[in-house]
Amino acid sequence: MNQVKRILLLVGSAKQTISTSELIGTYLIERLQSNGYETETLFAHKLLKSNSWERLLSSTDRADIIVIAFPLFVDCLPYSVIKSLEQIAGHRQAKSELKEQTLVCLANCGFPEQHHNDTAIAICRQFAREAGFKWAGALSLGGGEAIGGQPLFKIKRTTKNVMKALDLTAEAIALGHPVPQEAIDSMAKPMVPKWIYLLMGGWGWKRRAKKNRVLKTILHRPYEG
């Protein structure tokens, strides 16, 4: 009898509402779930808040594939994700033997250009090397705010290339292959034209500023020397 394979999704966003990280991560593992994989989802900020590291480590030990989906925080991973990776690395480095496990990363940022995720992805690749994971690659998404917390299939005109990238990745992982270049290229395509994204982003900031009664002072620079 073939052993059922398990996938752990670690979501790095701390949003109280559904995040882009959760949406793209869930889409990927649901595609794998349809191929007979068992899935589990954990949220890094909840693990940090409750100090539930034993749960993270036991879930990691059971998983065959670990998917980390996170938003970019100043060219890096969120602290809750870094802390989670530190816990996993220390746990695995203390073991004399490790089973073969695969790591995949899904990075997204608010900048229109996806290349801002490069440093964070490099950190994940180095973590995989030091913690003894098989590095299967990463998908890098720019302009993640365009998804706006909506299921990908509901805005498929905007997310068609994102879904294509995730579908291709799921197919590759199911066959034991790394993230294919076609998927990487598809995810890197802008969901909307850059000028529209910037226009809507600027409008969003002004709307929030007005709501918080700071619209008239939004351009002030009190600490500029």
Query: What is the pTM for the complete model shown?
Result: 0.90
pLDDT score, position 220: 84
Residue 112: which of 206, 27, 199, 186 has the closest Cα?
199
pLDDT score, position 29: 96
pLDDT score, position 2: 57
Structural tokens at position 62: 């059971």
pLDDT score, position 225: 65
CB 37 within 8 A of CB 30: no
Instruction: Please list the residues that pair with 201 across neighbouring strands.
Output: none
pLDDT score, position 36: 86
C-alpha–C-alpha distance, residues 99 and 36, integer Å: 20
Adjacency order of strands within the sheet including 134-141: 38-43, 6-11, 65-71, 102-108, 134-141
Residue 60: which of 79, 78, 86, 36 has the closest Cα?
86
Burial (CB count <10 Å: 0-12, 13-18, 19+), residue 60: buried
* Residue ranges for the chain with pLDDT beneath 50: 1
CB 8 within 8 A of CB 65: yes
Instruction: Give the tens place of pLDDT for each residue, 60-94.
Output: 999 999 999 999 998 899 999 999 999 999 999 99
